[in-house]
Structures are given as C-alpha cells and as structure tokens.
C-alpha cells in the first residue's frame, strides 16, 4: 500500500510543514482527485477519522488549568478558521480553469472541512460537552473570531464570491490566509507533542495537507500569471491590501495570550516535558512565549517570501 502513497503525503515520510512548503513543487496535474484518493485517506489519515489513533487518551493535565485554557482557545479559533476557509474556497471550484484544478479545489474544500471537524472534535475529547460545543467555542474564541476572522473572511469573500476572481482568490488563500496561519500550526504540533500527543497528531495531519495547499496554490497562481501577465499589477495591489489588512488585525495579541497560558502550564508540568526539544538543540522547557511566537513569525515571513518569489510576485514584499 505504501507504494501508492506519495512521500509528501505519508505521515511517516512527509517533510515538516516548513521544509515541505518551502522546498516542494506540486501542480494540480499531479495533485488531482486521483492523487488525493491514493494519498490522503490511507497515507495521511491512515483511516483515523479523528486525526489521531482511536485509542489515544488525553492526559489529565490537559483537562483543566492553563493548558486546557490554551488549547481550547487555540482549537476553537482554528476550528472556526478552517470552517470559514472551507466555505470560502468552495467558490473557487466552479471558477477553476481546468478539470485537474477543479478537482484539486474540491479536495481542498474537503480537507478544510475535515480540519474544522477534527479541531472541533478534539474539544469534545478534552471534555467540552458535545451539546455545548457552539456556545463554548463562542465563549473562548468569539472575540478573536470577530476581531480577526470576520475581517479576513469579508476580504476573501469580496474576491472569491462577489468578484468571482479565481486568481485573486488563489493568491489571497496562499499568501495572506494559509501562508500566515500555517506556521502557527507548525508551532502547535511541536509544542503539544509531549503534552497532548493526540493534538500533535491532528496538527501533523493538517500540516501535511497544508503543504499540498500551499504548494499547489502557488503553482496554480504561477501558471495563471504566466498565461495572463496583464493581471500582475492588480494582483500585486490585492496582495498589498491583504497584507495591510493583516497587519492591522490583533493576531499577535491573540497568539501572545495563548503562549502565556501555555507557559504557565509548561512550568507547572515541566517534569512531563523533560528534555523534549521543540527544535534541534532547544528544550521546550527552556523556551519563552516571546521566543516561540518570534520563531513562528519568522517562519511565516520566510514562507511568504519564498512563495511570492516562486509566483513571480516578489515586488509585493
Ligand atoms: Fe486547513
Ligand atoms: Fe489549508
């Protein structure tokens, strides 16, 4: 079976999100529906409907206190972000210029809907009563959703739904939305690994999907711009507007609050984390909230730069 699963979609062999998203090239011709069917259900998901092995237990230290507060805020926010992404991306399916690209976006819609589902379900695994899921999500993440996700959604829907601009939509997704949120996901996998392995497995699976979304999205935009060079000025303008919007949003404050909560939990449960290294040569227990956040922001800037260059849009930097 592993013979049919491409390396970049295989849970054991795939590169990390950053290496993968920065170094891999994948086009919709390769990453069409047939590719997805062979790669994702068996290779990335291994049949794990919840994104982690079914027998995994959430440790007690995750069920209350600052770690519970940190992960519920994070996963509630990301569940809403993924659901909004799935809904917005669905507008790209009918606009896609050819069948492979249409199939790719259909699979991306499914991927994002699945990410929303596994983040949401993990809240239940952590102890949120299933029937209270919606109000709890609003309680812990409603403020961040309104101040960050609603303006981003409005910006994306104006391009994808109201103007039916396929290229604009692809660029907004790969540069502004996913490119900016993906490094936070990489940080998440690394920091939750020793504390909540199920969460880290969920993040790993979502991260592998994001490699595909970012690389194929960039390849689609690149090809489209090669065929329609006259679109370049307005796409550059769109990226700059998107970046200005992003800079105005309180993303930093949100991440800082989550990292502060994580820090309190980390100090309380340092013996569980032990010598685990968040990146080579650096023990998680020795890191600070600012350091972790700074690292993720650095990744984000680096990824954005490489993608923009690849698409021929480096002037936006
Ligand atoms: Fe996603
Ligand atoms: Fe994605």
Q: What is the pLDDT of residues 201-252, one digit of tens each?
A: 999 999 999 989 999 999 999 999 999 999 999 999 999 999 999 999 999 9
CA gap 109, 121 in Å, rounded: 18
Residue 1, pLDDT above cutoff 50: no
264 alpha carbon – ligand 2 mean position (Å): 30
- Work out the average pLDDT over 104-117: 97
- In b/e form, how buried is each residue of 281-309, taking b as 16+ CB within 10 angstroms? eeebbebebeebbebbbebbeebbebbbe
Which ligand gives the minimal distance to the CA of 174? 2
Which ligand gives the minimal distance to the CA of 117? 1
| Site of tokens 């954005």 | 304
| Per-residue model confidence (pLDDT) at position 3 | 56
CA gap 31, 41 in Å, rounded: 14
Contact criterion met (CB below 8 Å) for 206 and 118: yes
| Per-residue model confidence (pLDDT) at position 258 | 95
242 alpha carbon – ligand 2 mean position (Å): 18
> What are the pLDDT digits (tens) for 55-66?
888 999 999 999
Contact criterion met (CB below 8 Å) for 169 and 159: yes
CA gap 89, 128 in Å, rounded: 29
- Work out the average pLDDT over 38-56: 90
Going by C-alpha positions, the residue among 192, 182, 187, 216 that lies closest to residue 52 is: 192
Which ligand gives the minimal distance to the CA of 82? 1
275 alpha carbon – ligand 1 mean position (Å): 30
Half-sphere exposure of 50 (CA within 13 A, CB side): 17
Q: Which domains does the chain have, with CATH numbers?
A: 9-45+53-316 (1.10.620.20)
The pTM (predicted TM-score) of the whole model is: 0.95
Q: Which residues contact 197 (CB under 8 A, 6 or more apart)?
A: 52, 56
The pair of three-digit structure tokens given for residue 244, joined into one six-digit string: 């200005």
Contact criterion met (CB below 8 Å) for 182 and 307: no
The pair of three-digit structure tokens given for residue 252, joined into one six-digit string: 């930093």
């Amino acid at each position: 079976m592993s013979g049919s699963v491409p390396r970049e979609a295989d849970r054991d062999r795939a590169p990390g999100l950053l290496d993968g998203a920065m170094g891999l090239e994948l086009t919709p011709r390769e990453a069409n529906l047939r590719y997805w069917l062979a790669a994702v259900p068996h290779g990335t998901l291994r049949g794990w409907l919840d994104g982690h092995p079914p027998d995994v237990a959430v440790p007690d230290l995750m069920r209350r206190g600052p770690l519970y507060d940190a992960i519920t805020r994070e996963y509630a926010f990301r569940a809403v972000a993924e659901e909004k992404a799935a809904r917005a991306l669905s507008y790209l399916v009918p606009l896609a210029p050819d069948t492979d690209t249409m199939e790719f976006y259909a699979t991306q819609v499914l991927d994002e809907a699945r990410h929303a589902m596994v983040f949401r379900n993990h809240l239940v695994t952590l102890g949120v009563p299933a029937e209270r899921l919606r109000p709890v999500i609003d309680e812990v993440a409603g403020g961040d959703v309104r101040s960050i996700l609603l303006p981003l959604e409005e910006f994306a829907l104006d391009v994808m739904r109201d103007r039916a601009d396929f290229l604009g939509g692809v660029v907004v997704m790969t540069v502004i939305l996913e490119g900016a949120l993906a490094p936070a996901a990489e940080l998440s996998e690394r920091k939750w690994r020793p504390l909540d392995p199920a969460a880290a497995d969920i993040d790993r699976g979502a991260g592998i999907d994001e490699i595909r979304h970012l690389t194929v999205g960039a390849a689609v935009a690149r090809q489209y711009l090669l065929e329609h060079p006259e679109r370049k000025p307005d796409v550059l303008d769109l990226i700059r507007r998107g970046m200005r919007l992003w800079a105005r949003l309180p993303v930093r404050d949100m991440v800082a609050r989550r990292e502060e909560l994580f820090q309190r939990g980390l100090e309380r449960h340092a013996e569980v984390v032990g010598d685990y290294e968040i990146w080579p040569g650096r023990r998680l227990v020795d890191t600070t909230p600012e350091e972790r956040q700074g690292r993720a922001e650095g990744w984000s800037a680096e990824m954005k730069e490489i993608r923009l260059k690849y698409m021929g849009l480096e002037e936006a930097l």
